[in-house]
Amino acid sequence: MRLIVRSSAIHAAGIFTLERIPKGTLVVEYTGTRMKHDDADNLYNERPYTYLFGVGDGTYVIDGYGMSMYLNHSCAPNCETEEDEDEHVWIRAIRDIAPGEELVYDYFLYDGEGAAPCTCGAAKCRGTMYSPKELNKRKRALAGKKSAKKGKKAAVK
């Protein structure tokens, strides 16, 4: 498969295909060093970016520095990730992809700090790379904090 890394309107650089990719094709493997999630958190503590991909139950991550690290997030993806029984992570086309298209998948982030803003430009963009499940979790946690804060104010009066 002929792929190229070049400038992307989504985020700095991205992967583009030079040929048609049929739906269902395994496009590229997410490769890199495997390490414990906690070790990766320590390694990237002071860095503004990571290329980490959680595998299995999330105890381990792949510290990706291959071509797949250039696949950008989109709320309207043309690819998805797939983990096989050996915990290899593949990027698979979920529709036919035309030559010249950027390859993108939904990151569905499930942890991290900050807003993780999305710049994909999709018509139905969530505005963030966090998964809907993670957004709901954060919303519930914020509501709980606000409720606890109101309770403290009422107790002081």
> In this model, does residue 49 exceed pLDDT 70?
yes
Residues listed for the chain? 157
147 within domain boundaries: no
* 10 occurs within a structural domain: yes
Q: Is residue 107 pLDDT above 60, yes or no?
A: yes
Looking at the chain, the whole-number percentage of residues with pLDDT higher than 70 is 92
Higher pLDDT, 102 or 114: 102
Does any domain span residue 114? Answer: yes
Cα 11 to Cα 120: distance, rounded to the nearest angstrom: 8
Res 32 pLDDT > 80: yes
Residue 118 neighbours by CB distance under 10 Å: 22
Tell me the CATH number at 74.
2.170.270.10
Q: Which domain, by its residues, includes 13?
A: 3-31+66-132
Per-residue model confidence as pLDDT tens digits over 67-94: 999 999 999 999 999 999 888 999 999 9
Do the domain assignments include residue 56? no
For residues 42 and 110, the model is more confident at 42
Residue 86 has what pLDDT? 85
Give the total number of structural domains in the chain. 1
| Angle of CA points 16, 72, 128, to nearest 5° | 150
- Residue 61 domain flag: no
Give the whole-angstrom CA distance, residue 91 versus residue 62: 14
pTM over cut 0.75 = yes
Tell me: pLDDT of 151 over 80: no
pLDDT at position 155 is 55
pLDDT at 153 exceeding the cut of 60: no
Q: Identify whether 40 is part of a domain.
A: no
Q: Measured between alpha carbons, how far is 67 from 3 in angstroms, rounded to an integer?
A: 9
Q: What is the mean pLDDT of residues 40-64?
A: 87
The answer to whether residue 38 scores a pLDDT higher than 70 is yes
Residue range 109-139, pLDDT digits in tens: 877 778 889 999 999 999 999 988 988 988 8
Does 107 map to a domain? yes
41 occurs within a structural domain: no
The whole-chain average pLDDT of the chain stands at: 89
